[in-house]
């Protein structure tokens, strides 16, 4: 056989689908997996799905030697130690100038470490975020490659065809930047995804618990929302979920799903990075806390017995008004969540000298990925208007949209509180907006307290310099 254009190691669901996508776009691909049955399964799928040019290999040496030089191998294996093990297996057969690409959800510092180690061996390295799940991998994901620009140019033609295609803005891939920037951007993308999903869940909870909407009504509402400014993948699949009947019992399947949310760590990493960078990300943090609380199912069941009672106001609710208010509250909260994510990326870019283009990130998220939404086009335009935008909230268009929606937003949060329904994401977003828009916060008192007990000093609003007051002595003398 002739040499293939590229190789892929790691044939779980994502790896298989991405390999088939690459082959379908006309690029012959070699595949390898430590468990050889996965190799045979992938080759068989390729035959069934159009006799695609996928060639399987059961040992790493023959796998690597089947790829044209300079060789490029994509890894799609579990983050952490398995990546290091796969690199060691592949690198033993690679030559100077060859390239390894990690397509998993890896911690960005691991990518930086590996890039340096590979450079010492004369190999190129890319850390590439891949978003869109198995469907995206097969039919067009959003791709976020970062690291060696030379390595990116090796496979740019492949990535441009394999990525999701958006008619008005092109392929959902771009060279993100140096070092671990691709993995970092994918991590924050997932953090934004956490916030988005939590806000949608809260909208559902308010409509169901306070508005008493049925699943059929919820499906109709979300389907309608998906025709306007909230049009997105997550709103679309949410509408679908509400319409699925339970095949193993009565009623709808969504009501039978256990209320415990899983996670794989990228949301936690995003919150940790926000704290490290001193960037406020309360909506994303609230979504993470909500997942932690959901995991305490047994404790919550017991607590519900202790805190029994009807927490609803019992007041009549105008369904149509509530639906419209929740729609506006969801959109306004969503702006805050994306603003926080973009600020985390901007801060890390500044710290590391990555020079990331926030508008371009919004563009490649418009298709293929989990957070794809019509809303992202607005974000791209905001950063196109002002690449140095301090915060998405102060973009003139978004600022006006927030102002137009804040009355409905406040009504929803107040209604939820008064009816004992938790809306941590919407509440955190509203608090973020209310803090950001105020020219003076009660932080003066906190700083005074710090100076009182720890002599941490403070600045004054009426004169320059750093000051310390012996608050205790002054207070004690005033009492004598």
Round to whole Å and give the CA distance between 472 and 72: 67
Does residue 133 have a known ligand-binding role?
A: yes
CA–CA gap between residue 132 and residue 114 (Å, rounded) = 25
Catalytic residue list? 186, 193
Is residue 38 a known part of a binding site? no
**425 annotated to a ligand binding site:** no
194 labelled binding-site residue: yes
Q: Is 82 exposed, middle or buried (0-12, 13-18, 19+ CB in 10 A)?
A: middle
Q: Is 79 annotated as a binding residue?
A: yes
Residue 31 phi, psi dihedral angles, 5° rounding: -130, 150
450 annotated ligand-binding residue: yes
- To the question of whether residue 131 is assigned a binding role by annotation, the answer is yes
Residue 461 labelled as part of a binding site: no
Q: Is 35 part of any known ligand binding site?
A: yes
> What is the distance between the terminal CA atoms of the chain, rounded to a whole angstrom?
97
Residue 411 annotated in ligand binding: no
Q: Is 372 annotated as a binding residue?
A: no
291 labeled binding residue: yes
Residue 33 assigned as binding residue:
yes
Encoded tokens for 223: 């389907």
Known binding residue 444? Answer is no
Nearest to 316 by CA among 419, 218, 179, 388: 419
Q: Is residue 297 part of an annotated ligand binding site?
A: no
Task: Tell me whether residue 61 is annotated as binding.
Answer: no
C-alpha span between 376 and 89 (Å, rounded): 40
Q: Which residues of 140-149 are buried (b: 16+ CB within 10 A; e: fewer)?
A: bbbbbbbbbe
| 456 assigned to a ligand binding site | yes
In SS3 terms, the chain reads as CCCECEEEECCCHHHHHHHHHHHHCCCCEEEECCCHHHHHHHHHHHHHCCCCCEEEECCHHHHHHCECCCCEEEECCCCCHHHHHHHHHHHCCCCCCCEEEECCCCCHHHHHHHHHHHHHCCCEEEEEEEECHHHHHHHCCEEEEEECHHHHHHHHHHHHHHCCEECCCEECECCCECCCHHHHHHHHHHHHHHHHHHHHHHHHHHHHHCCCCCHHHHHHHHHHHCCCCCCEHHHHHHHHHHCCECCCCCCEHHHHCCCCCCCCCHHHHHHHHHHHCCCCCHHHHHHHHHHHHHCCHHHHHHHHHHCCCCCCCCCCCCHHHHHHHHHHHHHHHHHHHHHHHHHHHHHHHHHHCCCCCHHHHHHHCCCCCCCCECHHHHHHHHHHHCCCCCCHHHCHHHHHHHHHHHHHHHHHHHHHHHCCCCCHHHHHHHHHHHHHCCCCCCHHHHHHHHHHHHCCCECCCCCCCCECCCHHHHHHHHHC
**Residues flagged as binding site for substrate:** 105, 131-133, 189-190, 194, 264, 291, 450, 456
**Residues flagged as binding site:** 10-15, 33-35, 77-79, 105, 131-133, 189-190, 194, 264, 291, 450, 456
**Residues flagged as binding site for NADP(+):** 10-15, 33-35, 77-79, 105
């Amino acid at each position: 056989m002739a040499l293939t254009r590229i190789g892929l190691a790691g044939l779980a669901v994502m790896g298989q689908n991405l390999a088939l996508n690459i082959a379908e776009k006309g690029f012959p691909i070699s595949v390898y997996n430590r468990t050889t049955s996965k190799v045979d399964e992938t080759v068989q799928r390729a035959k069934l799905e159009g006799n695609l040019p996928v060639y399987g290999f059961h040992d790493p040496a023959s796998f690597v030697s089947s790829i044209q030089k300079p060789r490029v191998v994509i890894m799609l294996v579990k983050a952490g130690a398995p990546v290091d093990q796969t690199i060691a297996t592949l690198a033993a057969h690679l030559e100077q100038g060859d390239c390894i690409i990690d397509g998993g959800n890896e911690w960005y510092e691991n990518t930086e470490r590996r890039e340096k180690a590979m450079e010492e061996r004369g190999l190129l390295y890319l850390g590439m975020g891949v978003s869109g799940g198995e469907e995206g991998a097969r039919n067009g994901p959003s791709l976020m490659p970062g690291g060696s620009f030379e390595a990116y140019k090796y496979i740019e033609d492949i990535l441009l065809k394999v990525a999701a295609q958006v008619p008005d803005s092109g392929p959902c891939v771009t060279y993100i930047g140096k070092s671990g920037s691709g993995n970092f951007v994918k991590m924050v993308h997932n953090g934004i995804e956490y916030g988005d999903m939590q806000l949608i869940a809260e909208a559902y909870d308010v409509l169901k618990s306070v508005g008493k909407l049925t699943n059929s009504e919820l499906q109709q509402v979300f389907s309608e929302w998906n025709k306007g400014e909230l049009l997105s993948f997550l709103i679309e699949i949410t509408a679908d979920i509400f319409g699925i009947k339970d095949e193993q019992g009565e009623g709808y399947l969504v009501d039978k799903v256990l209320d415990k949310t899983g996670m794989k760590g990228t949301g936690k990493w995003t919150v940790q990075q926000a704290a490290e960078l001193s960037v406020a990300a309360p909506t994303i943090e609230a979504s993470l806390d909500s997942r932690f609380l959901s995991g305490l199912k047994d404790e919550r069941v017991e607590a519900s017995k202790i805190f029994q009672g009807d927490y609803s106001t019992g007041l009549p609710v105008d369904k149509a008004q509530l639906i419209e208010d929740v729609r506006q509250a969801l959109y306004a909260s969503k702006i805050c969540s994306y603003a926080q994510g973009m600020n985390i990326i901007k801060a890390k870019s500044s710290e590391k000298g990555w020079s990331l283009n926030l508008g371009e990130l919004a563009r490649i998220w418009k298709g293929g990925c989990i957070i794809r939404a019509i809303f992202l086009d607005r974000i791209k335009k905001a950063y196109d208007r002002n690449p140095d935008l301090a915060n998405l909230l102060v973009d003139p268009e978004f600022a006006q949209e927030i102002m137009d929606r804040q009355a409905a937003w406040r009504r929803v949060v107040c209604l939820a509180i008064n009816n004992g329904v938790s809306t941590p994401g919407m509440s955190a977003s509203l608090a973020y907006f209310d803090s950001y828009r105020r020219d003076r916060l009660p932080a003066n008192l906190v700083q005074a307290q710090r100076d009182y007990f720890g002599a941490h000093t403070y600045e004054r609003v009426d004169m320059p310099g750093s000051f310390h007051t012996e608050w205790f002595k002054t207070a004690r003398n005033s009492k004598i």
